[in-house]
Amino acid sequence: MVLIGLRWVTVAFAIFYAIKKGSLTTWILLSMIIGVEIGLNYPHFAQNLQVLSKIFLSLVKTIIAPILFSTLVVGIAGHSNLKQVGRMGWKSILYFEVVTTFALIIGLIAINLTQAGAGIVLPEGFNQELPEAKAQTWSEVILHIFPENIVKSIYHGDVLPIVVFSVIFGIALAMLPEKKKKPMLDFSESLAEAMFKFTNIIMHFAPFGVGAAIAVTVGHLGIDILTSLLKLLFTLYGSLLAFMLLVLLPIAYFLKIPIRKFIRAVSEPVSIAFATTSSESALPKAMENMEKLGVPRKIVSFVLPTGYTFNLDGTTLYLSLAAVFVAQAAGIPLTIGQQLLMGLTLMLTSKGVAGVPRASLVILLGTAASFGLPLWPIMAILGIDELMDMARTSVNVTGNCLATVVIAKWEKEYVEPEGEINFD
């Protein structure tokens, strides 16, 4: 009882600090702390808060299609540099695949060192229903990139088909004479500015949506399943931290990216992604903050959404680690070659899952089945998947934000803003 009282006193001091600070990022972090407290102390009540997180996610999803369309069209047609679009494309894909390969290797090394799956036992009475798994072929992954119906893609929130449509539309608009191009270009510029203002309005609701999402997660999980799988959880969080320190940080340091400003720029999008377990929810704010950091809008609007399909660093690391965990739990030894093959398969089939909470689990199920691994160890992962999803989604967002700065540097178009930057 005393401990609970002390925790709430700490929360009260944190609220006072947030009021004094007046920063939206501070309020979001505070809402996460309050959400944890509500989830721990009032788990049944916490489930009723899910409506707040769903409202926030729904509002964010309404922004994505218009903001992607308008910024890409302005970025391509407004500058009429079609060669740069192609150049940014191959540079982005090259960078994405190199970095995700490092993520794959770190995940495999981590799980082989900790042996987190060895001797795993499901908690007594634990019962979870596994989601239905459907293995996706490589041809299906490729076909999914190209929209058969743009309205359908917008309705389902498929980021990459929207990007492909917008890029082709922007190229077509750039080919028109100035007189015919200008009205559509002016409309797209106005739409882009309006959608960024729209984002700012919605972000004032973020503390409520984020706090509610955390409360629901903590209230749903409880403590029992968490304590039995701490080794797996620590392995994932530790390996993701190692990836950021050993891969992302050296990239930023080598390219002389302003690390402190970058951390401030990504803190709010990452907080949103962490709480909602969806990279998609952080996309509008991430785009806005990267532009404030000095990355041109045309690069942000092209690289960031593309990264949501090809640059899933956190998801790739998690999948490689989780696949070996399943084999360890089942007592099936895998050679290094088998592990690499499985990891590469997961890396290829995971393209385009960033916007969907816990879609990685479905991919893991399909791959485990295709490699002849039993599915019961995934029951254990399912119990803490929400906590694992928080971490991998945060790294996905961080990696993609860094990618925009890397490509801007590579294109020699990055200009570091002077003085303090207001990212709220």
Question: Is-contact 114 235, C-beta < 8 A?
Answer: yes
The pLDDT score that the predictor gives to residue 161 is 83
Task: Give me the chain's average pLDDT, please.
Answer: 81
pTM given for the model: 0.77
Question: Is-contact 343 104, C-beta < 8 A?
Answer: yes
The pLDDT score that the predictor gives to residue 115 is 87
Q: Catalogue all structural domains in the chain, each as residue range(s) with its CATH number.
A: 2-410 (1.10.3860.10)
User: Distances from the Cα of 104 to the Cαs of 14, 313, 319, in angstroms?
Assistant: 38, 8, 8
What does the pLDDT look like over 160-180, one tens digit per residue? 788 888 888 988 988 888 888
pLDDT in tens, the chain (424 residues): 666 667 667 767 667 666 766 667 777 778 878 888 888 888 888 888 888 888 887 887 788 788 888 888 887 787 656 787 788 889 998 999 999 999 999 999 999 998 887 776 654 544 455 455 455 566 766 777 787 888 888 887 777 788 888 888 988 988 888 888 889 989 998 998 888 888 878 878 888 888 888 788 777 766 555 555 788 889 999 999 999 999 999 999 999 999 999 999 999 899 888 888 778 788 888 988 999 999 998 888 888 888 887 888 998 999 999 989 988 888 888 888 888 888 887 777 666 554 454 567 767 877 787 778 887 777 777 767 778 888 999 999 999 999 999 999 999 989 888 777 776 6
The pLDDT score that the predictor gives to residue 133 is 47
